[in-house]
Every structure is written in structure tokens, then in C-alpha cells.
Amino acid sequence: MVGPEIANMKSQNFEFLRSKRAVLADLGAFAERYAHEDPASSLLKQRAFVEHAVTAIYGAYRLRPPFSDNLNDLMNAEPFRQSVPEVVQNKLHAVRKAGNHAAHPRRPITSQLSLDCLFQLFDIARWFHVQIDAGDRLDAPSYSAPPPQPEANGKAKEALEKLRLAEAKYDSVLATLEEETRKQLDAERAAAEHASQLAQLKEEGQKVASSLQFDEQKTRRRLIDQALLAAGWDVGADGANTEEVRQEVRLSGMPTPSGDGAADYVLYGDDGKPLAVIEAKKTAKDARIGAEQARMYAESLEQETGVRPVIFFTNGVDIFLWDDAQGYPYRKVYGFYSKDSLEYLTHQRTNKKALAAIEPNLAIANRMYQLEAVKRVCERFSTNFRKALLVQATGTGKTRVAISLCDVLMRAGWVKRILFLCDRRELRKQADRVFKEFMPGEPRVVVDSTTSSDRDKRIYLATYPAMMKCYEDFDVGFFDLVIADESHRSIYKKFGDPVTNPKGWEVKALGEVATLFAGNSLPPGVPFAGHPGGVLLLKVGDMNTPGNEVGISRAREWRESVGGGGVVAPAGAVVIPKRGGAIATNKKRVLLRPAALDPNLMAIAPGESLDLAYLRQWFDGVDLANLSNGSAVPQLNKKDLAPLQLPIPPFGEQKRFAAVTTAVHRIRVRAEEGVRSAEALFDGLLGRAFRAALERKSSP
């Protein structure tokens, strides 16, 4: 597999893998050789080692991969977490995060970091060899850190150049292997596993980890250090203090017999004042048990310095933030705040204004319901809620309301940087135009591959796919406000978080889980008069028949039965137009009784794994016009619909989701009706005013 050109890639610590995993042995060798001269490249090779190891675990355990083959998604999928011991997961994450940091460094990459991770990688390799490849734990040597290469007569530089040449040749081999890996993952998505099997695998893996005597405390420390490095903090090696991050900080005034205590980490600003305190718990424990202890550390630091730090508590995997100075409850976050983000958070405590004192700019939004929406969201934020949902009818100015809210929050000092997310480029362009018109003084950027590194703007506009490619490059506190425009459509497409599929639910093509029916010529029939049984002869115009707005129960014509030439869709199928201008109406209906379809209609009947209400709600997020062939007479065919991807959560979750979205739809309909009534009332009053028909009553 490796080839003669790089046969000299012998590893100091990973050779025991070569007989069964030559790729892993070679990646370990590359990582060792780069560790001192080019630590960033060493970390990238170590991350590649983890990628191949994780894929092999999926194959050996026959786990069903998530829809995304991103390494983070693979490692956080429920089957993987249920079957791999936590201590091994932590080591895998430590190396993965270090590799991410090497790819997008906020601090210089040191050889100490690459060497620390090499030791973690060695532990991963030992566990993998015993548990996955059924090897003997005595096959692995005692770990020995690779020594630096001598630099006499420029030989080290020459050796490094040869190493890079070998790496380039090796990458072509890996590219072929990765393509095979992707095919393997696709095949494994059809495999099934049971919770009992996963528990057994985890128990066996834990026994192996225990026999190898992994150092859990050191692994947890490495995870926390990596998370701090990823946020741009200067973290000292092996617990050493730096100006920004001090460890085991002695504190007084604690409820202990001696009155003293030690905070695991304290993060400092440029003025030497504490910005945050971190309490670290064992990985096996819930991080939240450290909340009260962290709060006491914060009080002690406040007494000593006059500044109350932001509170973090973590077990190395889960991280919680508690800004109790502003009265917020603690919440789970996915990393530590950068220094800049923490400084702005503490700045807000004394500098932000009451939202009720800031009047909306009427040049941005001036309709009564728009102002009411801004007011209600501000009231919610003022009472320490962090989320709000706005449901507005089409054409009522959702973008203007969002930008008016941004303007109020910025002028009040509540937000500095805003992320505006949408699911289509057209919406992003529209938002960009409106921001430019009404907030021209605020620097903004459209996030894409060329601008994702910009950090000096105030407004960031992005589609979900664009943000998915770079969101890990931003620290978790970078954005003060995130607006998800038309988020319901993305929920239909990804089910859950519009950015990821965190539950790891299977995603399948529509053609795999539903039967598609394309209409054909209809036989002659008789006028429908409420006949029981039989078959409706359904034409596209029948979708507009009164009473058929949601479910179709009638048509102009009916027939007792249809011969072999007709296409009959069963009750419970979703009906859509498939030809002509009707496609642009984007209508979807549900058949309440069997119907033969004319050539202008299609139907989609859910299979056993799909709930009808869930399928119907998912179809609301499908824009039929975008799927049509774009010819002079637009047309849809089975091949246009069959490849559409939809997630398949458990049946109970499908029903719950359908119930929630149905309730949201009803709220939206009521809102639209309210808007229409208000506009009709306004028009009526305006007409009466022009006719001088309004009466003015004086106060008594």
C-alpha cells in the first residue's frame, strides 16, 4: 500500500501497528519526524491518524455513520459515543482539536504541543491495536518521545525536504484510500446496531483502556488546554503559568478549614484583572457539580481584585458558562470565549443601556406590528431570555424588523457583532441591500471562502452551507446576536439544528422511503356526487376546489374503478402539480381517498418508515419551481424528486415534529389573517377620512 519510494518511513513508537495498519504506522512516523521542525504538520498528520482510526472503528463495530462524514460529526454520533470508552473519546478529541488548531492557528504552534499530542496518539494506538485489531498489549513498546534532529551542515533541512517529497507521494495513496473509505461509510449507513451491542462493545473497550492504565486526569487537562488554545489563549505547557492563563491559582476566603483554595484556571486581561475562572471536574462526572465551587472562586477573585470574572466549569468534554453578574443562568457552550469576547462581555455589565429607553428607528420599520415585534423581543431579552421566535406572514417586512432590532441592540450596547443566517443566496443578497440602506456605517461582510477570516466587521451575512464550512474558526463568543432567517425551511431539510444534524439521524433519498406516482391520461368518468368508494378522477384544477385546500376529498369526476392504463395514488399520498404554471404555485395537498392522476399531477406516498404528517410538513420546505427543468413549459419528473434527501428520525419524533410545525403553521395563518384584517380596517378608515366621514368625539 505504501510503495517503495517511502519504505524508509519507520516509526519510533508506532511500528507495532504496521502488520495490520500500515497507513496508521506511516502517519505516526510522519508525525514523529515533523514534531520538532514543523509541529503544525505533525499535528495535521496526527489528526489524519485519528480520522483513519475512527473510520476503522465504525467498520469494526458495524456502526451506522451519520449523514455527514465530518470527523467531529462521526465522533459525536450517538452510536460512536455509546460504544467507545470516554477516556478514549477524550484522547481522540484532544488530538482532533489540536489538529484543528494547527490548521487555523491563533497562537504559534510549539513542538511541546505536538509532542504532548503524540503521547495521546500513542495511547489511542495501543487501545486500537488491542480492541479493534485483537492484538497483544505487549506488542507496543514503552513510549519514547522522538528527539530533535541535529542541525549540523544543513542536513536537517535537507532531510525535511526529502520528508516533504515523500509526504507528497504518500498523499496520493491516501487520496485513493479516502475515496474507498467514503464508499465504505456509505455502505455502512445501511447497517443496524442495537443498544445492547453498543453497551457490550463499550464495556469491552473500557476493560482494555483500564488494562493500559490511561491517565484520565492528564487527558482532561489536555482537552481543556486545547479548547483554550483554540480560543486564542496563551496556555503554558504542563501547568506552567503565562500572563494570560494561570493554573492552580491560590485563593483565600474559601469555605475550607484553612480558608484557602485553588482555582484550576484563571484567565486574565491585558490590565492584569481576571476575566474568567475555570473549574475542572473529572470527565466521568457531570461538569455542573462544579458550578457552586466555581462561583465561590469568582467571589474570592472579586474580593481580591474588585472585578467579578465570568464563570466556566467543565469536565473536559462539556463546558458551561455562567455570567451571574448580569443575572443569567448558566448554559452549555461549545468552547471557551476568546479574550476579546470576554472583555466585551464584562464591558457590557456597566455600559449597556436599558432596551426600553431606546426608540426604534422609524426609517427602518414603522408599521405598528413591526414596532410591536421589536418591542416584544427587547422585553424578552431584558428579562434575561436568550432566544426569541418571530413568525410573520410573507410580505410583512421580516428583514426590516430584524434590522430594526439589530439597530436598537447596537445603539443600546447589547451587541457588537451580528451573524445573519439564511438558507438561500437570494435572501442573503436582500438582507445585504437592506443593511446597506439603513445601517450604512456598520462594516459588514458576506461570509464565503475568501472572507471567512475577516474579524474586523460588525455584520456578517452567510448562508447555512457557507457557515458550516467555517463556523469552527470563530470563537463561541464572537457573535453577540445570531438571526436565523426563514429557519423553518432549513429545519425541514435538516430536522433539528439548521446548521448540523446533531442527533445523527439517518438521511435517505425520497425515492428510497416513498413511492412516487406520475399522472397519466384519465379515462372518462361521471360527475362526482359524494360517491362512497371508487376512485376520484383528479385534475390539477381540482386542487383549487373549495374544501380541498388541505386534504383532497372531492373532484369534478369520479369512476368506480380504473383499468390498467390509469395511475391511481392511494389515500395518504401528497399531491403536487408536475407541469406548467401550476408548479409555480407550490401547492401541496394530501389525498383523503384514492385518486387517478391526470398528466399534470404527481403523488408521493410515504413508506413504512415515514409518518404522513411529517412528510407533508417536510414538503412545505421544498420549492417546486426550483426543482423543475426550467423549460418554456416547466415540468417535474420522478427523477427530479427521487434524489431529494430527508432525515428519518424515530417514528415518535416524526409525529412530535409534525405536531409542533402544525402549531407554528396555525400561528402563522392567524398572523396573516390579522394582518389582512388590520390592512382592511386601515383602508376603510382611510377611505372614510378622504370622504370626511370620520367623526371626531371630544373628551368629556
Q: Where are the domains of the chain?
A: 4-214, 233-351, 355-494, 506-648, 651-700
Higher pLDDT, residue 76 or 308: 308
Higher pLDDT, residue 494 or 15: 15
CA nearest to 328, candidates 313, 349, 314, 303: 349
**Strand locations in 287-417 (E):** 310-314, 319-322, 331-333
Q: What is the pLDDT of residue 315?
A: 86
When pLDDT is averaged across residues 521-531 and rounded to a whole number, the result is: 90
Say whether pLDDT at 59 is over 80: yes
Q: What is the pLDDT of residue 267?
A: 96
Structure confidence at residue 679 as a pLDDT band (50, 70, 90): confident
Lowest mean pLDDT among 338-342, 371-375, 491-495: 491-495
Q: What is the pLDDT of residue 496?
A: 44
Q: What is the pLDDT of residue 425?
A: 79
* Amino acid letter, residue 265: Y
Residue 384: all three cell numbers together = 434575561
Structure confidence at residue 460 as a pLDDT band (50, 70, 90): very high
When pLDDT is averaged across residues 229-235 and rounded to a whole number, the result is: 88
Higher pLDDT, residue 296 or 175: 296
Residues 540-568 pLDDT 10s: 999 999 888 888 999 999 998 887 667 89
Pick the CATH number of 233-351 from 3.40.50.11400, 3.40.50.1820, 3.90.1570.30, 3.40.50.620: 3.90.1570.30
When pLDDT is averaged across residues 166-185 and rounded to a whole number, the result is: 54
Decide: 547 and 679 in contact? Cβ < 8 Å: no
Separation CA 646–CA 585 (nearest Å): 22
Decide: 491 and 119 in contact? Cβ < 8 Å: no
Decide: 308 and 276 in contact? Cβ < 8 Å: no
Q: β-pairing, 274-280 with 310-314?
A: parallel
Q: What is the pLDDT of residue 190?
A: 43
Residue 644: all three cell numbers together = 431529494
Structure confidence at residue 667 as a pLDDT band (50, 70, 90): confident
Residue 368: all three cell numbers together = 405598528
Say whether pLDDT at 603 is over 90: yes
Lowest mean pLDDT among 27-36, 448-457, 485-494, 568-577: 485-494
Higher pLDDT, residue 343 or 100: 343
Task: Write the DSSP assignment of 633-666 as a string of letters.
Answer: S-B--HHHHTT-EEEE--HHHHHHHHHHHHHHHH
What percent of the chain stands above pLDDT 70? 82
Q: What is the pLDDT of residue 491?
A: 44
Say whether pLDDT at 694 is over 80: no
Mean pLDDT of the chain: 83
Say whether pLDDT at 696 is over 60: no
Higher pLDDT, residue 68 or 429: 429
Task: Please state, as a whole number, how many other Cβ atoms lie within 10 Å of the Cβ of residue 379.
Answer: 13
Q: What is the pLDDT of residue 7?
A: 45
Decide: 541 and 580 in contact? Cβ < 8 Å: no
Structure confidence at residue 312 as a pLDDT band (50, 70, 90): very high
Q: What is the pLDDT of residue 442?
A: 94
Does domain 355-494 match CATH 2.60.40.1150? Answer: no
Lowest mean pLDDT among 206-210, 365-369, 564-568: 206-210
Q: What is the pLDDT of residue 691?
A: 64
When pLDDT is averaged across residues 320-331 and rounded to a whole number, the result is: 93
Separation CA 348–CA 351 (nearest Å): 5
Q: What is the pLDDT of residue 109?
A: 86
Structure confidence at residue 695 as a pLDDT band (50, 70, 90): low
Separation CA 681–CA 694 (nearest Å): 13
CA nearest to 49, candidates 32, 73, 25: 25
Q: What is the pLDDT of residue 281?
A: 87
Q: What is the pLDDT of residue 121?
A: 95
When pLDDT is averaged across residues 9-22 and rounded to a whole number, the result is: 90
Q: What is the pLDDT of residue 628?
A: 73
Higher pLDDT, residue 197 or 519: 519
When pLDDT is averaged across residues 394-404 and rounded to a whole number, the result is: 89
Q: What is the pLDDT of residue 182?
A: 55
Q: What is the pLDDT of residue 112?
A: 87
Say whether pLDDT at 502 is over 50: no
Q: What is the pLDDT of residue 382?
A: 95
Say whether pLDDT at 204 is over 50: yes
Q: What is the pLDDT of residue 651?
A: 79
Q: What is the pLDDT of residue 68?
A: 65
Decide: 419 and 454 in contact? Cβ < 8 Å: no
Q: What is the pLDDT of residue 563?
A: 75
Residue 442: all three cell numbers together = 456598520
Q: What fold does the segment set 506-648 form as a domain?
A: Adenine-n6-DNA-methyltransferase TaqI; Chain A, domain 2 (3.90.220)
When pLDDT is averaged across residues 452-459 and rounded to a whole number, the result is: 89
When pLDDT is averaged across residues 397-413 and rounded to a whole number, the result is: 94
When pLDDT is averaged across residues 313-322 and rounded to a whole number, the result is: 90
CA nearest to 415, candidates 358, 490, 366, 331: 358
Higher pLDDT, residue 204 or 61: 61
Residues 96-154 pLDDT 10s: 988 888 887 777 888 888 998 999 999 999 999 999 999 998 998 999 999 887 654 45
When pLDDT is averaged across residues 412-440 and rounded to a whole number, the result is: 90
Q: Of the ranges 160-174, 299-313, 506-520, which is most confident?
A: 299-313
Structure confidence at residue 196 as a pLDDT band (50, 70, 90): low
Say whether pLDDT at 9 is over 90: no
Q: What is the pLDDT of residue 2?
A: 39
Q: What is the pLDDT of residue 180?
A: 54
Q: What is the pLDDT of residue 449?
A: 77
